[in-house]
């Protein structure tokens, strides 16, 4: 992890930090199962840890706090959040077309997060975009 990214993670409260680091690991591990996306880059955008594909196969995923919860943010002009709302409305909360919101005090919905991460990292490869 780059020092500037680590500094941002280190600034999070412990409850949120644990969940955010677990989601970071999910993103990194999921990316490793998707050879078609190429290399994954970890950086900061708007002072938020951001995960984007070098080949631009997907939409960047940003991790940050959302009040006392945590969020995975994607570009607001994608249809990604709208596509998963009907699938996971009982699992996630949402913020418009830009974020999936999670309570860090509950067990992480790993299966659903992996689906969302895969969808984000391959967004521009999908024929299902509307």
| Six token digits for residue 109 | 């919905």
Q: Are 9 and 17 in contact (CB under 8 A)?
A: yes
Percent of the chain with pLDDT over 90: 78
Within 8 A by CB and 6+ apart from 14, the residues are none
Instruction: Check residue 123 and give its pLDDT.
Output: 87
Check: CB of residue 87 under 8 Å from CB of residue 102.
no
More confident site: 110 or 123:
110
Give the pLDDT score at 130. 44
pLDDT score of 129: 47
pLDDT, position 57 = 86
> What is the per-residue pLDDT across 16-43, written as a single tens digit (0 to 9) for each?
999 999 999 999 999 999 889 889 999 9
Q: What is the pTM of this model?
A: 0.90
Domains of the chain: 3-123 (3.90.1150.200)
**22: Cβ contacts below 8 Å, ≥ 6 apart:** 108
pLDDT tens for 39-88 read 999 999 999 999 999 888 899 999 999 999 999 999 887 888 999 999 99
């Amino acid at each position: 992890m780059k020092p500037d990214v680590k500094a941002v993670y280190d600034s999070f409260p412990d409850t949120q930090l644990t969940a955010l680091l677990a989601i970071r690991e999910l993103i990194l591990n999921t990316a490793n199962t998707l050879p078609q996306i190429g290399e994954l880059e970890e950086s900061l955008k708007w002072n938020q840890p951001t995960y984007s594909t070098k080949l631009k196969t997907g939409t960047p995923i940003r991790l940050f706090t959302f009040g006392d919860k945590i969020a995975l943010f994607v570009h607001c002009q994608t249809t990604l959040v709208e596509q998963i709302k009907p699938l996971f409305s009982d699992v996630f909360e949402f913020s418009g077309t830009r974020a999936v919101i999670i309570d860090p005090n509950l067990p992480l919905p790993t299966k659903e997060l992996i689906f969302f991460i895969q969808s984000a990292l391959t967004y521009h490869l999908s024929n299902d975009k509307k």
